[in-house]
Structure 1
Amino acid sequence: MLVKRMEDAINDQMNFEIYSAHIYLSMASYFEENGLPGFANWMKAQYQEEIFHAMKMFDYVNETGGRATISAIDAPATEWESPLAAFQTALEHEQLVTSRINKLMDIAREESDHATSIFLQWFISEQVEEEATVGDIVGKLKLVGDGGALFMLDRDLSTRAFTPPQGE
């Protein structure tokens, strides 16, 4: 059974994951408008991944005797100066998510909530991957600038598809 402090913290993060999804969907629209459908595809897959994360938390709270609660979600930004600026925003956001997940783990440890600690380990590992992936794209965007290579990168990003992890 979740203690109230842990339930509230996971609910807060669950809603933040939904906010994260909104950020990525907004970025997808930005890229569509700017003629970069591959970038938009990547962001749509990221949107699906963030919703998956939120639902994982939703299910966990409900399965452990708590109640998942949905709160108002702030509207995300809709404009960026460039594809690089959008991905730099995404990287900063993922770093914020990582710090929030780490704080959840701190609470689980303080509460001696071993089940939640195990549950959160998946998210900690996921955030390492998230930051590395977005950081890699930021690095590539810095290398290619605004030239023709941007369209090659757009083509590469168009191949991403969201696949839920097995057994989840």
Structure 2
Amino acid sequence: MTKSKFSDLLLLQIGNEFAASQQYIAVAVWFANQDLPQLAKYFYRQSVEERNHAMMMVQYMVDRGVSVPIPGVPAVRNDFTAVTDPLALALKQEKEVTRSIESLFRAARAEDDALGEQFMLWFLKEQVEEVASMTTLLNIAERAENSFDIENFVARETIGNGGRDAGAPEAAGGSL
């Protein structure tokens, strides 16, 4: 794999995935500080899932013989005023990631990079699940009469696949 628009965008996306992982830790900690352990647990898992996505992309680039400089991440948002605030932030973030993944897929297709296009297909499918999960959580939070109704929902229901997918690409160093 040579340097291309696709490889440049993939390097940027690695940074985006690590940033999402950090943001989800901040969200989880906020929920933990609000005594909402189910939401905290959910977002701690989401953080690991985003880290694994970054490491899948790292492994792909290593496998393709491309140097992978690991970027730093920007500061995350730590302060929220209502339970819906971090959920709305998470949904916005997942929609942005979806646009980035779509751009990566289009770049691979434009460059006639069948391997890159095939690699991005899994991430496109994953983003459908991510946006749907965050939409559901935000909808439930907006309709809930109190925070504990949301906690009960998260404890009772399976939201997303928890990052478990046998067809997922291999993560560098193994998935956590």
TM-score normalised according to structure 2 size: 0.87
In structure 2, the residue matched to 1:136 is 136
Q: 3-state SS of the aligned residue for 1:101?
A: helix
Deviation of 1:159 after TM superposition, in Å, equals 9.1
Deviation of 1:112 after TM superposition, in Å, equals 0.7
Kept after mapping to 2: 8 A contact 1:37/1:158: no
Kept after mapping to 2: 8 A contact 1:84/1:141: yes
Aligned amino acid, residue 49 of structure 2: E
- Please give the per-residue CA displacement for 1:5-42, whole angstroms capped at 9, x wherever unaligned: 32221111011100000010000110011100110000
Aligned amino acid, residue 152 of structure 2: M
In structure 2, the residue matched to 1:14 is 14
Deviation of 1:149 after TM superposition, in Å, equals 1.9
Seen in structure 2, the aligned counterparts of structure 1 residues 147 and 107 have a Cα distance that, compared at 3 Å, is closer
In structure 2, the residue matched to 1:59 is 59
Kept after mapping to 2: 8 A contact 1:38/1:158: no
Which deviates more from structure 2 when the two are superposed, residues 155-164 or residues 114-123? 155-164
How many correspondences in the alignment? 168
Kept after mapping to 1: 8 A contact 2:17/2:50: yes
Deviation of 1:147 after TM superposition, in Å, equals 5.6
In structure 2, the residue matched to 1:126 is 126
TM-score normalised according to structure 1 size: 0.91
Which deviates more from structure 2 when the two are superposed, residues 156-165 or residues 98-107? 156-165
Please report the RMSD computed on the Cα atoms of aligned residues, expressed in angstroms.
2.0
- In the alignment, structure 2 segments of 5+ residues that lack a partner are 170-176
Where do residues 4-83 of structure 1 align in structure 2 (5 Å cutoff)?
4-83=4-83
How high is the sequence identity, in percent, across the aligned residues? Answer: 25
Kept after mapping to 2: 8 A contact 1:39/1:154: yes
Deviation of 1:150 after TM superposition, in Å, equals 3.5
Separation in 1, partners of 2:36, 2:22: 19
